[in-house]
Amino acid sequence: MWNRLKQMLIKEFIQVFRDKRSRFVLFIPPLAQMLIFGYAATLDIRHVATAVLDYDNTLESRDLIFHFSGSPYFHVQQRVSDPGEIRDLIDRGQVILGLRIDRGFAQDLRKGQTASVQAIVDSSNSNTALVALGYVNQIAAKFAQDYQFDLMQRTSPMLAAATPNIVLQRQPWFNPDLRSQWFFVPGVIGNLIMVIVVILTAFAVVREREIGTLEQIMVTPIRRVEFILGKTIPFFLIGLLDATLISLVGTLWFRVPFRGSVWVLGLGVVLFLLCVLGVGLFISTVSATQQQAMVSSFFFIMPAVIFSGFGTPISSMPHWLQYLTYFDPLRYFLVVIRGVYLKGIGVDVLWPQMAAMLTIALSMLAISVLRFHKSIE
C-alpha cells in the first residue's frame, strides 16, 4: 500500500511542479493577493471628499470648517456658492459629503441658541454614509463643546472652572487603536487558503477524467482509497505551505500581532484544510469537465465568504439565514484565526469551533469518497 501511495504522490507532485506556470500560480498570486487585499479590505473611512457651502461667512463658521479640514477623516476639496453645485458634485462622484452653513449660524451661537448645520451625504454606499455621518456628529459635538467652554471662560471664568465635566476613558481590548486591518487581515488569510485549496482539489479527479487517464489508473493495482489519498495529500501540503507563507506576510508585513500559540493555529489550519479538501474533492467528483469544476467552486466560495462573517457580522443577517452559516467551515476558522492572532486564546476556548470543523471535514470527506466510488462504478 505505502509503495503504491508513494508512487501516486510522486506522480502528483511531478504533474503539479513540472509546469513553470503552475509553480508560479501556486505561490506568487496568493502572496500578491495577500498584499493587495490586506490594504483594500478595511472599514476605515479617511479623507472623505467634502464640499462646503458657507452662507454665514463668519469667524464661527470658518472655525467649524477648520475643524473638518483639520480632521484626517475629511478633505475639503470644494468651496461652492450654490446648493446646486453640491448636488452636481455628488452626482458626478467628486464628493461624498456636502456641508451647508446658513446665515445666522454665528448669531444663534452668540445668543446661546441651537445653531444648525446641514450635512448632505451620498448614501449610495450606506456603510460609508453612516461612518461619515458619525464623524460629522463627533466633530460638530467637539466644536460645540469647545465653543461653549470658551464662551463661559470669557463671560464667567469662575463658573467655567466649577462646571462638571465627564470624560469617557476608552479601553479597547485586543485592538487598542481600533484598526480594522487587524480584523480583516486574518480573514483574508482564511479566504485565500479556502480559494487555493478548493480550486486545486476541484481539478484533481476531473482532470484525470477529462484527459482519459482515470480509467487507466483505476485498472492498475492501486486502490480507490489510495487514489483519493494520492490526490488530496499533495494539495494538503501545498495548502499548508501557502497558509504558512501568507500568515507570515500578515504578521510581518501588516504588523498584525500574533498573541497565541503556533500549535493551536496549526491545528485550526489542518482541520480547515481537511474541510476545504473534502469540499474540493466533492466538486471534483460531481463535475464532468474542468469548466464545470471551476464554476461549481465559485458557487461554493462566494456564499462561504458571505456567510462566514468576514465582512458583515453574522448576527446582522436574517435569523433564518444564520442557520446556513453553521455549514460553512470558514465561519469557524475565522473565529479560530482571529482568536489566536488578536486574543491569544487556546483550545480550551476554541474547542467548539475545532469540533465543528472536524465534523464537517469527516462528513465531506466521507461523502466525497462514496461519491467517487459511485461515479467510478
In the block, residue with C-alpha cell 479527479: 205
Final residue in a domain of this structure, among 100, 128, 162: 162
Question: Which residues, 6+ apart, have CB-to-CB distance to 65 below 8 Å?
Answer: 52, 54, 76, 99, 101
User: DSSP of 114-174, one letter per residue?
Assistant: ----EEEE-TTSHHHHHHHHHHHHHHHHHHHHHHHHHHHHHH-HHHHHH----------SS
Report whether pLDDT(78) > 60. Answer: yes
Same domain, 76 and 12: no
Q: Quick check: helix, strand or coil at residue 346?
A: coil
Q: In this model, does residue 352 exceed pLDDT 90?
A: yes
Burial of 344 (0-12, 13-18, 19+ CB in 10 A): middle
Give the pLDDT band of residue 214 (cuts 50, 70, 90): low
- Residue 34 or residue 44, greater confidence: 34
Question: Is there a contact between 199 and 280 (Cβ–Cβ < 8 Å)?
Answer: yes
Closest C-alpha among 189, 330, 174, 172 to residue 252:
189
Out of 96, 130, 162, a domain closes at: 162
For residues 253 and 21, the model is more confident at 253
Asked, for residue 168, whether it belongs to a domain, the answer is no
Residue 149 and residue 93 share a domain: yes
265 confidence band (pLDDT: 50, 70, 90)? very high
**Whether residues 348 and 365 fall in one domain:** yes
Q: Which amino acid is at 49?
A: A
Q: Please indicate, yes or no, if residue 170 is contained in any of the structural domains.
A: no
Kindly state whether residues 334 and 290 are assigned to the same domain. yes
Q: Which residue is listed with cell 509553480?
A: 23
What band does 93 get if pLDDT is binned at 50, 70 and 90?
Answer: confident
Residue where a domain terminates, one of 162, 196, 213: 162
Q: Are residues 313 and 369 in the same domain?
A: yes
Band of the pLDDT at 40, cuts 50, 70, 90?
confident
Report H helices in 156-289. 157-162, 180-211, 214-218, 224-252, 262-286
- Please give the residue range of the domain that contains residue 100: 48-162
- For 137-196, how does the pLDDT look when each residue is reduced to its tens digit (9 = 90+)? 989 888 888 887 777 776 666 655 666 666 677 777 887 777 888 888 898 999 999 998
Do 301 and 193 share a domain, yes or no?
A: yes
Non-local (6+) Cβ contacts of 178 within 8 A are 172
The stretch 284-294 carries a mean pLDDT of 83
Residue 264, judged by CB atoms within 10 A of its CB (0-12, 13-18, 19+), counts as buried
In a domain, 237, yes or no: yes
Q: Is residue 72 part of a domain?
A: yes
Most confident residue range from 112-121, 137-146, 246-255, 259-268: 259-268
Rounded to whole angstroms, what are the CA distances from 115 to 8, 53, 149, 328?
77, 16, 16, 51
Whether residue 322 sits in one domain with residue 240:
yes
- Domain membership of residue 169 (yes or no) is no
Instruction: Judge if 218 and 273 occupy the same domain.
Output: yes
- Let me know if residue 73 belongs to a domain: yes
Give the list of residues 6+ apart from residue 155 with CB closer than 8 angstroms, or none: none
- What are the backbone angles phi and psi of residue 101, rounded to the nearest 5°? -115, 110
Whether residue 172 lies inside any domain: the answer is no
> Which neighbouring-strand residues pair with 98?
51, 120
In a domain? residue 143: yes
Tell me the pLDDT of the chain averaged across its residues.
83
Counted domains in the chain: 2
pLDDT tens sequence across 306-331: 999 887 888 888 888 889 999 999 99
Both 285 and 369 in one domain: the answer is yes
Question: What are residue 281's phi and psi, to 5 degrees?
Answer: -65, -40
Residues 116 and 189 in one domain: no
* Domain containing residue 124: CATH number: 3.40.1710.10
34 and 120 part of one domain: no
Q: Are the beta carbons of 354 and 368 closer than 8 angstroms?
A: no
Q: Are residues 319 and 190 in the same domain?
A: yes
pLDDT value at 24 more than 80? no
Q: What pLDDT was estimated at residue 52?
A: 93
| pLDDT of residue 19 exceeding 80 | no
